[in-house]
Amino acid sequence: MRRMARLFSVPLLAAVLAAGCASTAALKKADSAFGQAKAAGAEARAPFEYYSAEAYLGLAHHEQAEGDRDMVVDFSKKSETFSAEALQKAG
């Protein structure tokens, strides 16, 4: 019985760790993209995209604190998309 429990616990632990790493990586990528947009002056040149990216990034950080990894990834991707659009418009 113990051997069976060990067989199932190792893949489960690996899956949990991989999910945590994915959400952390997505958040770091979104943080970086937002920083680039900010540095390029997107706040003045692309305010809708800039503030949308900022809002989604804030939601991603909030969800990370709450432990909802799926929403962290979702909000991070949305923030990254808006950041890229803001960066492009900022030129």
b/e per residue 33-43 (b: at least 16 CB within 10 A): bbeebbebebe
- Please tell me the predicted confidence (pLDDT) of residue 7: 52
Task: Examine the pLDDT at 29 and tell me if it is beyond 90.
Answer: yes
| Alpha helices for 1-91 (secondary structure H) | 2-39, 42-45, 47-66, 69-90
- Please tell me the predicted confidence (pLDDT) of residue 2: 62
Task: Examine the pLDDT at 14 and tell me if it is beyond 50.
Answer: no
Entry field: residues in the chain: 91
Mean residue pLDDT of the chain comes to 87
Where do we find the tokens 């305010």?
Answer: 47
pLDDT tens-digit series, residues 32-55: 999 999 999 999 999 999 999 999
In the chain, what is the straight-line distance between the N-terminal and C-terminal CA atoms, in Å? 62
